[in-house]
Amino acid sequence: MKLTKRQIDNAACDENKARCLWDDNLTGFGVKLLPSGAKRYFVKYRSYGGGRRAKQRWFTIGTHGQIPFEQAKEDARQILAAVKRGEDPQGEKLAIRDAPKLVDAWEKFEREELANKKPATIRDYTSCWERHIAPRLGSTKAVDVSRSDVSRLHQSLSNTPYLANRMLALLSSLMNRCEAWEWREQGTNPCRFVKKFEEQPRERYLSSPELERLGKALRDLVDEGAIWPDVANLIKLLLLTGARRNEIATCEWGWIDWERQVIMLPDSKTGAKPLFLGDSAIEVLQRQKVTTRDPASTYVFPGKKQNYPLVNLSKPWKRICEFAELNDVRIHDLRHTAASIAVGKGVALPVIGRLLGHTQTQTTARYAHVDNQPALAAANAIGNGVADCIE
């Protein structure tokens, strides 16, 4: 029977049971009559042009009355022609509908890879995802994220170039994972040609007068009981070693090799490494043994909570800076100051790199041939430059 528009207009189904009208002139094409009164055009076929063992597919073309009958029939011809070419139009439609979203990529990344990162990295990545990427692109299918989407998001953070570039790096990493998981075509990372913002490196070093004011502030605030001796000793040790804050703040007594004058850090931003201690740094540590708020603690600088290190330095550091009249100085700038003093004392750059544990691969390779003695000499050079000001 040849299916016509008039037939469809006049056709109806039982009250509780749908039925189909078929077009004998175009095998697989028909219209489904629903109890609701709706009439929907469809094509029935075997996927990829296969035989009886191939999966049976029902492809809905549209609703009668919303698209013309002849248009529906022509669409059916195109679909069936695609099936003869070995395609699966309904399968592709379902794949697009069920394609994973970017939030699925994040959950897989979080579950399989992020858990192995360092705590600070986990914190930074999670914050960047939750605050910037998820609200804008989380519900977008991974395959549909475009370069214009990425560019708009990147531009929206133009007032914070560093953050914008870190966000771009994280998103690019997620897109690379999507390619690896075959959620996107290979080589389609939409972050690839989005230009990063220029970042102005922050160069802030404490001058000799500023170091003197810092030393006085540490002494006076301890005498007044405004800060704990632990805080003052921690600040001094950061200056004397050029270490990162957490490398000192989470240090345990068992990591210190007093004879070799090193702290053997089991982990750091760049992995396990020795932290060299000049004579002035050793003196600070010996003083800390006496003044520590918790002599029984395994941590060199114990926090208020038992069995926890000193973690919150923001409030005491703000008080110290106000007392010492230090403007725009971060705790991390103490590390920069240590490096600048070492340079001023004529210490070779590779030795400074070994001392501070820089992250550049090519630089680290050069440090591999520097033995402990020059590094200890560098630690003493920094100590001599700092100690006169802060003691």
Q: Is 309 helix (H, G, I), strand (E, B) or coil?
A: strand
Residue type at position 49: G
User: What pLDDT shows up at residue 270?
Assistant: 65
**Single pTM value for the model:** 0.55
| pLDDT tens by residue, 37-80 | 889 999 888 876 566 677 788 888 889 989 999 999 999 898 88
User: What pLDDT shows up at residue 205?
Assistant: 80
- The strands making up 256-257's β-sheet, listed across from edge to edge, are 256-257, 262-265, 273-276
User: Does the 208-390 domain belong in CATH 2.60.40.10?
Assistant: no
- Is residue 13 very low, low, confident or very high in pLDDT (cuts 50, 70, 90)? confident
CA 239, CA 248: separation in Å to the nearest integer?
Answer: 11
The matching CATH number, chosen from 3.40.50.300, 3.30.160.390, 3.40.50.150, 3.40.50.720, for 5-97 is 3.30.160.390
Residue 24 has pLDDT above 70, yes or no: yes
Which residue stretches of the chain are H helix?
A: 5-10, 69-84, 89-97, 102-112, 119-128, 134-137, 147-155, 161-180, 208-224, 229-241, 245-249, 279-291, 314-324, 333-344, 349-356, 361-367, 372-390
| Among 344, 345, 348, residue whose Cα is nearest residue 374 | 348
Contacts of 298 (CB under 8 A, 6+ apart): 252, 253, 254, 307
Residue 296 has pLDDT above 80, yes or no: yes
CA Rg value for the chain: 34
User: What pLDDT shows up at residue 182?
Assistant: 86
% of residues, the chain, pLDDT over 70: 86
| pLDDT tens by residue, 94-142 | 666 667 899 999 999 999 988 888 888 898 999 999 999 999 999 999 9
CA 256, CA 275: separation in Å to the nearest integer?
Answer: 9
Mean pLDDT of the chain: 85
- Is residue 366 very low, low, confident or very high in pLDDT (cuts 50, 70, 90)? very low
| pLDDT tens by residue, 199-240 | 776 677 888 899 999 999 999 999 999 999 999 999 999 998
